[in-house]
Amino acid sequence: MAIGKRTIRVDAYDKVTGRAKYTDDLCDKNALVARIVHSTIAHGYVKTVDTSEAERMPGVVKVLTCFDVPNRPIGTAGHPWHLEAAHRDVEDRLLLNRHVRFYGDDVAVVIAEDDVTADRAARAVKVEYEELPFVLDVREAMEDGAPQLHEEFKNNILGHTSIYKGNFAEAIKEEGLIKVEGWYDTPLVQHCHIENPVSYAYMEAGKVVVVASTQIPHIVRRVTAQALSLPWGSVRIVKPYIGGGFGNKQDALYEPLNAWLTTQVGGRLVKLEISREETFYATRTRHAIRFHLTSYVRPDGTFVARKFAAYSDQGAYASHGHGIAAKGMGAFPQLYPCDNLECDAYTVFTNKPVAGAMRGYGIPQAMFAGEAHIDDIAKALDVDPLEYRMRFVMPKGYAENFSMNVNYADSFRECLEKGMEEFDFKRKQKAYANQTGDIRRGVGVAVFWYNTGVWPISLESSACRMVLNQDGTIQLQMGETEIGQGADTTFAQMAADTLGIPFKHVHVISTQDTDITPFGTGAYASRQTYMGGFAIHQTALQLRDKILKHAQTLTRMPSYNLDLVDGYIVRTTDGERLMSLGKLATDVLYSMEYSEHITAESTYQCNSNAYSFGCSFAEVEVDIPMCKATLIKLTNVHDCGTLINPALAEAQVHGGMSMAIGYGLQEKMLFDEKTGRMLNDNLLDYKLCTTMDHPDLTALFVENAEPTSAYGTKSLGEPPTCSGAPAIRNAILHATGVAINETPITPHVLFERFNEENRFERLKEEQEEMQAQPVGAGAR
Amino acid sequence: MSAPQYKTVNFTLNGVETHKMIDVRSSLMDMLRDNYSLHSVKEGCAVGECGACTVLIDGEVFNACIYLAVWVEGKEVITTEGLTGPNGELSEVQQAFVDEFAVQCGFCTPGFVVAAEALIRSGKTYTRDQLRKNLAGNLCRCTGYENIINAVETALERHHAAKVNAKVE
Amino acid sequence: MYDMKALYEAESVDHAISLLVEHPEAMVLAAGSDVFIKLREGKLAGREFVSIYMLDEMRGVTLEEDGTIRIGSLTSFSHIVESEIIQEFIPVLADAVLMIGGPQIRNLGTIGGNTCNGVTSADSGATLLALDAEVELKSPEGVRIIPLSEFYIKPGVVDLRPAELQTALLIRKAAYDGYIGQHFIKYAMRNAMDIATLGCSVNVKLSDDKQVIEDCRIGFGVAGPVPMRLPQAEDTVRGEVISKDLIEAFGEATKHDVNPRTSWRATKEFRLHLIETMAMRCLTESIIKAGGVVE
Ligand code: FES
Ligand code: FES
């Protein structure tokens, strides 16, 4: 069996030798080079674009502007198409925009023969604007009279949804309730995949071909065809290896523009490479969400009524839109069930870079707020925050009506127990209870739950093709994409086991080519192992049936007494190996009577979802005078069902934990209030974690096989990012007694909060007291 | 540019002496990718902040994106491709990256492999903290660095063990 | 491809100077780490450059007969870290430059480039100032040597005359002899690959009985427009008996010397708070390294 083994990645050799080809590695070096001219105002209209100087430069092939593009608004979100118009994504931007809505919006494009010329020409394009007032703050954007970004959306509200249950107003009248209330703020952050978005496009056989670094080739094909008003079959998207995506490349970013550019230069090859700076301000971000949470609890800790309000900063265009805030809100009532609820989520346009999908899709934000709030409640009640969670977090057997999810096992408590033990949490909690001095330690915990895939909101389906080779190996093709997480390897493990052939006999075709690859919506929503698993399972059974039918002919045994085991046709009655699959494949293909190219292909439509669970434990050391919090230890525990490949699962968790550390302590996109320009649009000023900013990371698992799943598995891609930041925040609270309700908890934030709570003076007083004590009495 | 300026660069690339006429404005990354098709040299930022383009020049690590190609005149340059043996054998570092699951999207990998190779070649031993310090010029967004540090640790252990064995024999 | 109009590769220091005379518009390109960044931003696009990177004669650390430590301007940060001379006499400089960037940047970046930038966040600046470093400059007019403190004029501007090259940094014996208590603290938002929010370098000379601070020098980066010394803080402790109160007085005195500003990277208030804290810690560590005790 391959499943459950720490199987080496199928792409490891190519990646360590530098042979794995990514988009730019495949592009002809003589491609024309495109450069985008971005707006230098946050809001307004382009009045004129003077391209004359740029056009005069030798080597400039074409300059195209917002006055040239097709007047067909596009929706860029990487969601499956919906047959009902009401469920489709908002289409609110053109390939280049005359109404510019953020500093960095796309205004014009230069196509030149080389990069130096393209840069010079892009700088020489002169844009004249009619400036409009702009708004950067999400709450201000909702006010009457605020600058309006999109006419159709009054007060800039892109979406507002609610969850109401019971009777909040009545419930809070109960005597003796304790009210805990707080504002919690999460930042705008960026995915920072190390490969920037890049694509190249050309025309061939009457089609537009785009090779692109994307997570969602089939969706990009649809969006590109729509943007160019082409029949969908006239667009071909090819996805080679990609250098990370994390949700940013779950949008049609610049592929539609690139496709259009080649059509404007007679189908010549045009490369569109996005710089790191552009990646920051002009691709997608994770929504900054501001939360206001109120809980009424009884002195025994039980929840009586809860209120949740979220204000999500969409930036300038809809992209994934309200889905993120709605998902964050959806997590809230389920995590700590409560009878009386008032939940509202708003998604609001501002003149900032566009927020889209990013690993966690609203849950890292919601968990920061929700789990910080739980510690605030525990503090108000003076109870142990871990015990509090143990008592009140989603109980075993909890079922949810919309997603039909069921908490089959008692995953939360199992995860918490396991983590607590490894972490030595209780002992540390005690040891750090009464500290003095400049440097103090603390421990914290936080939990999360996560969905698997997007059913029932959207289509969930996956298709798979298996082709038997003459040597008994197979080609495995999936529409679901390898983006670094190890999908290809786990797919091969599943296929090998269900089919009954050795892992090494599965050749995964890593590249998706929409002309060839079966349909799949791609890498997002932590869906692929679960969804792809169904399609692989179903297709493998079909292929196996075909093989065994031929085996009956070739071995003279009834197929019901035959099995495919480890690449051999085995007689089940006595375990005898009758022939190898390779011999069968060759004999069948070249048979003069019944020749067949044995293949199987099928689509599985999934109508289920699955709860994934987990928690984080964090230990910090806070240097109060230096305003620095250092993470000493971080442990994540996950129940994502059966592990297909434990080593890859651990690796996934490490990466997510790292993002959570950045989210908790370091990362934030900053903007100039006067212009709306992003200030730190590079990897020096945007504080992505380096090797020096991490402790060692511990990833643990509780394996409760998911009953709805083909292989017992459920989501893991995004979950590791969800609970780290609040665990760190709660550890800082434990260490210092100071609650910090915003992330990232940078030295700037610590300075402000320590000042507000007079921590520096208190330290001085403490020291003076110590000095005042007679020699020998002090605790030296 | 008023008149294009070209220059022949003579240097050793992955163990082989070579020379190439190049535009003097080329960065080392431009030359390695475009003139030698050494695509392991990746661009993640082009300004020396991510390490994806790391190469060895005379045994020391450099970011090829902020180094002029003409500056390698007379020097020895090694990229990840140059670490693999003539029959495709993986180097100690490459093998350890495979074994320790230190690879995910793989975009940072060649840069890390080269950075780790410099540590192997130093002949020194390193604590885990020193490894972190010595690999801090390479960013990775996928792995949380955990398995990368594990891999470099493993490679160093194997390397030093092999050296000891070689001496014993 | 970098957008350069022309690149002139110097073959010797004298050749570099004559190239600069010949091409007065040209900029000097040492290791170029920040020139390349500016070129990419389009800021220096289309300019001419004289590259001095290949001039090995400007590399290396040597101890001259009179005890002067001479650091060639093109010496990379990693070579400074590895230099036995530096490690023996002024290890604080190694500590400071070891905080720069990551290994790649330390292999590329040069001490000369770090000072000629004239930026206040240069990691070597505070330490070199605290060591009373001097700079050696060469031009068609000959060689001149000036204190580093005078070399810094204002942000981004240093005292380099037309066709003049900085060839070395000099640290005199009197400046390090007996100053065995040396410490450097960099404050940044990350533990690597970051620019300094503040950098503090202290060195002290204690009396033989280790009770009295005979001399103390403190340099700061980002505490003002260019790297600076803190004379009032130094005066506060010079000749004084070591005590906790003295350290506090030192911290207090820093306020009178510095002039940090608010930028999006940090507020003035935060920097002032840190300057005091870092100065006290840095002095304490220096005293301990010199064999003194703070209590
Ligand atoms: S591409 Fe060279 S360091 Fe990022
Ligand atoms: S493996 Fe993806 S960036 Fe390191």
DSSP string, A485-506: S-HHHHHHHHHHHHHTS-GGGE
Question: Rounded distance, CA A285 to CA A314, Å?
Answer: 9
* Interface mutation target, options A751, A756, A769, chain C, most CBs of C under 10 Å: A751
φ and ψ at residue B91, rounded to 5 degrees: -75, 170
Q: Which atom of ligand 2 lies at the shortest distance from residue A194's CA?
A: 3
Choose the final residue of a domain: A282, A302, A318: A282
B133 within ligand 2 shell (Cβ under 6 A):
no
For ligand 2, atom 3, the nearest C-alpha belongs to B140
Pull the structure tokens for residue A142: 């909702």
Which residue in the set B27, B118, B138 is minimally distant from C2, CB to CB? B27
Say which of C7, C104, C193 has its CB closest to residue B5: C7
Do A442 and A531 sit in the same domain of this protein?
A: no
CA torsion angle for A219, A222, A225, A226 (degrees, to 10)?
Answer: -110
Q: Which atom of ligand 2 is nearest to the CA of B102?
A: 1
Full residue range of the structural domain in which residue C260 is found = 179-289
Task: Verify whether the Cβ–Cβ distance A17 to B80 is below 8 Å.
Answer: yes
Alpha-carbon distance A648 to nearest alpha carbon in chain B (angstroms) = 7
Do A198 and A109 share a structural domain? yes
Residue C42 shares a structural domain with residue C67: no
Q: A458 near A84, Cβ under 8 Å? A: no
Kindly state whether residues C159 and C208 are assigned to the same domain: no
Domain-ending residue, one of C51, C69, C84: C51
User: CB of C33 within 8 Å of any CB in chain B?
Assistant: yes
Give the global pTM: 0.97
Q: Could you tell me where the DSSP H helices lie in A506-573?
A: 528-555
Q: How far is the CA of B142 from the centre of ligand 2 (A)?
A: 4
What are residue A564's DSSP bridge partners? A569
| Same domain, residue pair A449 and A550 | no
Residues A601 and A727 in one domain: no
Of C175, C201, C236, which residue sits at a domain end?
Answer: C175
CATH of residue C193: 3.30.390.50
Does one domain contain both C18 and C88?
no
Phi, psi (rounded to 5 degrees) for B70: -65, -15
Residues C61 and C12 in one domain: no
Residue A776: what pLDDT? 46
Counted across chains B and C, CB pairs separated by less than 8 A come out at 87
Q: Is residue C84 part of a domain?
A: yes
State both tokens at A121. 């020409």
Residue to substitute in A194, A241, A246, A683 for testing ligand 2 pocket (most ligand atoms within 8 angstroms of CB)? A194
Average pLDDT, chain B: 96
Find the closest chain C residue to B61 by CA distance. C104
CB distance A216 to A522 below 8 Å: yes
Domain for residue C260, yes or no?
Answer: yes
> A251 C-alpha vs ligand 2 centroid, how far in Å?
20
Distance A262 CA to ligand 1 centre (A): 29
Q: Which of B61, B68, B77, B141 to mutate to test the interface with C (most CBs of C within 10 A)?
A: B68
Secondary structure (3-state) at A234 = helix
Q: The complex's ipTM?
A: 0.98
- My answer on whether C64 and C114 are in the same domain is yes
| Whole-number percent of chain B with pLDDT over 90 | 93
In this complex, the residue of B1, B108, B143 whose CB is nearest that of residue A654 is: B143
User: B141, A16: Cβ pair inside 8 Å?
Assistant: no
If asked whether residues A440 and A519 sit together in one domain, one would say no
CA dihedral A559, A563, A568, A569 (to 10 degrees): -20
Residues A763 and A614 in one domain: yes
Residues of A within 8 A of C266 (CB-CB) are 748
Residues C91, C74 share a domain: yes
Q: How far is C23 from chain A (nearest CA, A)?
A: 23
pLDDT at A773: 67
User: Would C294 be classed as within a structural domain?
Assistant: no
Cα-to-centroid distance, A255 and ligand 1 (Å): 24
- Ligand 1 atom 3: the closest Cα is on which residue? B48
Share of chain C above pLDDT 70, in %: 100
Q: Mind telling me how many Å the CA of B50 is from chain A's nearest CA?
A: 7
Question: Is residue A591 domain-shared with residue A670, that is, in the same domain?
Answer: no
What is the count of residue pairs from A and C with beta carbons less than 8 Å apart?
Answer: 60
C85 and C107 together in one domain: yes
Position B167 scores a pLDDT of 77
Residue A694 to residue B144, Cβ atoms within 8 A? yes
- C185/C273 same-domain check: yes
For the beta sheet containing A235-239, the strands, ordered from the edge strand earlier in sequence to the opposite edge, are A60-65, A106-112, A32-38, A270-273, A198-204, A207-212, A235-239, A512-513
Q: Please give the Cα distance from A705 to A700 (Å, whole number).
A: 15
* Of the residues C119, C142, C175, the one at which a domain ends: C175
Query: Residue B112 CA: which ligand 2 atom is closest?
Result: 4
Q: How far apart are CA A43 and CA A326, in angstroms?
A: 27
Q: Are residue A621 and residue A487 in the same domain, yes or no?
A: no
* C1/B5 CB distance under 8 A: no
Closest to A610 (Cα-Cα) out of A487, A526, A703: A526
Q: Is pLDDT above 80 for C293?
A: yes
Domain CATH number, residue A65? 3.90.1170.50
Distance CA A351, CA A314 (A): 9
Flag whether A363 is in a domain.
no
List, in order of start, the domains of chain B with CATH numbers: 6-82 (3.10.20.30), 92-168 (1.10.150.120)
Which residue is associated with the tokens 């523009």? A257
C77 and C19 within one domain? no
Q: A58 lies in a domain?
A: yes
Residue A313 in any domain: the answer is no
Q: Judge whether A772 lies within some domain.
A: no
Q: Which of B60, B88, B70, B56 is nearest to B6 (CA)?
A: B70
Contacts of B66 in chain C (CB under 8 A): 32-33, 36-37, 108
User: Quick check: CB of B139 below 6 Å from ligand 2?
Assistant: no
Q: Coil, strand, or helix at residue C230?
A: coil
Are C171 and C184 members of one domain? Answer: no
Task: Give per-10-residue mean pLDDT for chain A (780 aa).
Answer: 96 98 98 98 98 98 98 96 94 98 98 97 98 98 98 97 98 98 98 98 98 98 98 98 98 98 98 98 98 98 98 98 97 96 98 98 98 98 98 97 94 98 98 95 98 95 97 98 98 98 98 97 96 98 98 97 98 98 98 97 97 98 98 98 98 98 98 98 97 97 97 97 98 98 98 97 88 53
Nearest to A115 among C1, C269, C278 (CB): C1
> Is A125 contained in some domain?
yes
Contact A548, A559 (CB under 8 A): yes
Chain C residues touching B51 at Cβ < 8 A: 102, 104
- CB of B82 closer than 6 angstroms to any ligand 1 atom: no
Substitution target in C5, C123, C190 with the highest count of A β-carbons within 10 Å is C190
**Cα of A93 from ligand 2 centre, angstroms:** 32
CB contact under 8 Å between C189 and A687, yes or no, is yes
Beta-strand ranges (E) seen in A117-156 are: 126-131
Does B141 sit in the ligand 2 pocket, CB within 6 Å? yes
Q: Cα(A475)–Cα(A467) distance, rounded to whole angstroms?
A: 5
| Cβ under 8 Å to A: B residues 69-98 | 79-81, 83-84, 88, 90, 94-95, 97-98
Of A116, A679, A691, the CB nearest to C1: A116
Answer whether residue A50 is part of any domain: yes
The residue among A459, A452, A525, A528 whose CA lies nearest residue A82 is A459
Domain boundary among A563, A588, A605: A605
Residue C132 counted as domain residue: yes
A773 contacts: CB under 8 Å, gap ≥ 6: none
Query: pLDDT digit string (tens) for C37-86?
Result: 999 888 899 999 999 999 999 999 999 999 999 999 999 999 999 999 99
Domain residue limits at A434: 404-458+607-767
pLDDT digits (tens, 9 = 90+) for C146-174: 999 999 999 999 999 999 999 999 999 99
Say what the pLDDT of residue C33 is.
78
Identify the domain boundary among A266, A282, A298.
A282
Smallest CA–CA separation between C161 and chain A, in Å? 31
Same domain, C17 and C75: no
C274 touching A (Cβ < 8 Å): yes
B123 inside 8 A of chain C by CB: no
Residues C40 and C99 in one domain: no
Q: State whether B5 and C51 contact (CB < 8 Å).
A: no
Taking alpha carbons only, the member of A731, A529, A768 closest to residue A635 is A731
Shared-domain flag, residues A32 and A42:
yes
Q: Which ligand gives the minimal distance to the CA of B61? A: 1
* Nearest CB to A243 within list B88, B105, B144: B105
CB contact (8 A) between residue C270 and residue A748: yes
Number of domain units in chain C: 3
Specify the 3-state DSSP secondary structure of A95: coil
CATH of the domain at A476: 3.30.365.10
List, in sequence order, every residue forming a beta bridge with A618; answer none if it has no partner. A444, A634
Is omega for the bond preceding A744 within 30 degrees of 0, making it cis?
Answer: yes
Residues A230, A266 within the same domain: yes
The domain spanning residue C133 has which CATH number?
A: 3.30.465.10
Strands of A568-571's sheet in order across: A562-565, A568-571, A576-580
Q: Is C266 on the interface with A (CB under 8 A)?
A: yes
- Looking at the structure, do residues A469 and A616 belong to the same domain, yes or no? no
Cβ of B142 closer than 6 Å to ligand 2, yes or no, is yes
Distance (Å, whole) CA B13 – CA B11: 6
Total beta-carbon pairs less than 8 A apart between chain A and chain B: 176
How many structural domains does chain A have? Answer: 3
C neighbours by CB contacts (3+ pairs under 8 Å): A, B
**CATH number, domain with residue C36:** 3.30.43
pLDDT in tens, C172-218: 999 999 999 999 999 999 999 999 999 999 999 999 999 999 999 99
Which of A271, A277, A692, A767 to mutate: most C Cβ within 10 Å?
A: A692
The SS3 call for residue B121 is helix
For residue B2, pLDDT over 60 is answered with no
Residues A599, A614, single domain; the answer is: no
- C18 backbone dihedrals φ, ψ, rounded to 5°: -70, -35
